[in-house]
Amino acid sequence: MDGNGRWARKKGFPRIYGHRAGAEAVRSTVRAAGELGIEVLTLYAFSTENWLRPQTETRALMGLLRMTLRREVIELNRNNVRLRAIGRIHELPQNVRDELERCVDITRSNSGLILNLALNYGGRQDILDAVNASIKQGKKTIEEEDISRNLTTAGLSDPDLLIRTSGEYRISNFLLWQIAYAEIYVTPVLWPDFKRTHLQEAILNYQKRERRFGGL
Ligand code: FPP
């Protein structure tokens, strides 16, 4: 969900204003994804590297996350959305974890869109944690399956489409293992401006791709 800071700067506002607008884009995108029949939507909300930002920004982001979860849980539940979170959740502030746990619990038995929030998430860390978990489980030789079932995305299918906003051509430590065969779509749109039409454009573009998974 890249481009919040630039969106705010263009308008002469502080960065957090861009994150707030970003939270609104989350709301509309989640609704659109549910209506379009998408099974899993993973949003990269906070990376392990984002802690390098000034404390004022990281604190504001944690506050925004907590408030958004609290405000949206009823709507998510009403729309049959099931919330999940991936990343080193145990390292998040206690009040964010509490709110997250509450939302996950409330939406646990929903059968619609799975909204997967990547929080304090890093692809390399996810792989490392999966390898270490496999070793703890007594594995001497680690197979692909050992990694997959110990990643925080265990049980979710690998993403088909990766959308990168704000025109950046980078992966930024996102789902490194899981995106092995994902189709990448880069849009110049800054995340706060991302609307249903942009999601639809991305899906239409994806539908024209020929996926060979390394075969012919
Ligand atoms: C990246 O843009 C965005 C983030 C690091 C934060 C994303 C968080 C939200 C949209 C808050 C709400 C989230 C949820 C799930 C409720 P950037 O700050 O790197 O922008 P820039 O590249 O323009 O500086």
Q: What is the mean pLDDT of residues 161-178?
A: 98
Protein residues whose CB sits closer than 6 Å to any atom of ligand 1: 1-6, 19, 22-23, 26, 43, 45, 50, 61, 64-65, 68, 117, 166
Signed CA dihedral, 106, 101, 125, 164: sign only:
positive
> Any catalytic annotation for residue 158?
no
CA 59–ligand 1 middle distance (angstroms): 13
**127-151: per-residue pLDDT in tens?**
999 999 999 999 999 999 999 999 9
Check 2, 116, 120, 126 and give the catalytic one.
2
214 domain residue, yes or no: no
Long-range contacts (CB closer than 8 Å, 24 or more residues apart) made by 51-58:
51/120, 57/15, 57/16
Beta bridge partners of 43: 117
**φ and ψ of 85, to 5 deg:** -135, 145
Nearest CA owner, ligand 1 atom 19:
2
How many CA atoms are closer than 13 Å to the CA of 42, on its beta-carbon side?
A: 25
Number of Cβ within 10 Å of residue 182's Cβ equals 18
Is the per-residue pLDDT at 102 higher than 90? yes
213 domain residue, yes or no: no
- Whether residue 89 contacts residue 153, with contact meaning beta carbons closer than 8 Å, is answered with no
pLDDT tier at 213, thresholds 50, 70, 90: confident
**Average pLDDT value for the chain:** 97
> Any catalytic annotation for residue 105?
no
SS3 47: strand
Residue 132: domain span: 4-207
**Tally of structural domains, the chain:** 1
Determine if the pTM surpasses 0.85: yes
CATH of the domain at 13: 3.40.1180.10
Counts for the chain of helices (H) and strands (E), in that order: 7, 5
Output the pLDDT for position 216.
80
215 domain residue, yes or no: no
C-alpha–C-alpha distance, residues 64 and 120, integer Å: 15
Check 50, 77, 79, 110 and give the catalytic one.
50
CA 210–ligand 1 middle distance (angstroms): 31
**3-16: per-residue pLDDT in tens?**
999 999 999 999 99
Beta bridge partners of 30: none
DSSP-assigned states of every residue in 1-34: ---HHHHHHHHT--HHHHHHHHHHHHHHHHHHHH
